[in-house]
Amino acid sequence: MKRLINYHKYGRQEWAQFHGEYRHNIAAADLQQLKSVGDQISLEDVQEIYAPLRHLLHLYLNNYQQLSNAKARFLGQKPHQVPFIIGISGSVAVGKSTTARLLKMMLQRAYPQYKIEQITTDGFLYPNAELAARHLTADKGFPWSYDNEKLLRFLEDVKADQGPVTYPVYSHQINDVLPDQQEQIEHPDILIMEGINVLQLPQNQQIYVSDYFDFAIYVDADPQLIEQWYLHRFQGFLAWQRAHPDPTNFYYQFLEQPEDQVLVFAHRVWQETNYRNLLEYIAPTMQRADLILHKTTNHFIDKVYLRKY
């Protein structure tokens, strides 16, 4: 990790003291349901890492609501709901989705009166056919493989609280955007958006995704560890296919291939696509986050970095 100048650094036990008055009501069974394949998370993580983070989000949310109401009064307007948006970024296989789902669950239980939604930016990738037509198949996941205009319109409509807002859906089963299928969110109080691209800098654009965020989190780890987690996840998906064969599933194509050959393929995908994307386009966005969760072996969060200013 590069030196983080504008951050306070906290060890796990020091960070654990910042939980405030909140006591989590998360059970081990909850964690089994929400964690991603190959990810690791424990009740100790909830108590020592995520309870303080939820308390911090509580402070940000309260200040945000007060400021939104004060700004409306300043402009002579009636105070109105402005959704609070949380962005979560980091490498493929680092555990973004688990973090997003856990935060959603904790916020729902802390704020039963609020409507809390969670989405991923995967649906804003160009469909595979369009990537092929643009000769971008090998660049899937890189900044230019997303329909950024559609993503920005979505965030603009959510932030403006325009009513039901639709968004495209990505299927990891077929590894493609589902054609003619959309989901919608309506009047969220809090939206959690996770994706590898959410903190990336504008490229000749006046505004970008992170400009809509009110709090941003980056999940970090050594790339060698992330590669292990990626390969382990790949093997997990493959094992599921062996137990539940499905010809429509992306991993079905590997069932008849020798396992060592499949692992060579997975390693090549990591090196040529995911690692290069991490190195060149994802990791450089880390210092745009308000908070960084640093992981070590077995997804253990050993350090937390909180932006100073």
**Which residues does the annotation place in the binding site for ATP?**
90-97
CA-based max dimension of the chain: 68
Whole-number Å distance between alpha carbons of 219 and 292: 6
The answer to whether the CB of 97 falls within 8 A of the CB of 194 is: yes
Binding-site positions = 90-97
What does DSSP say about strands 84-90 and 190-194: parallel, antiparallel, or unpaired? Answer: parallel
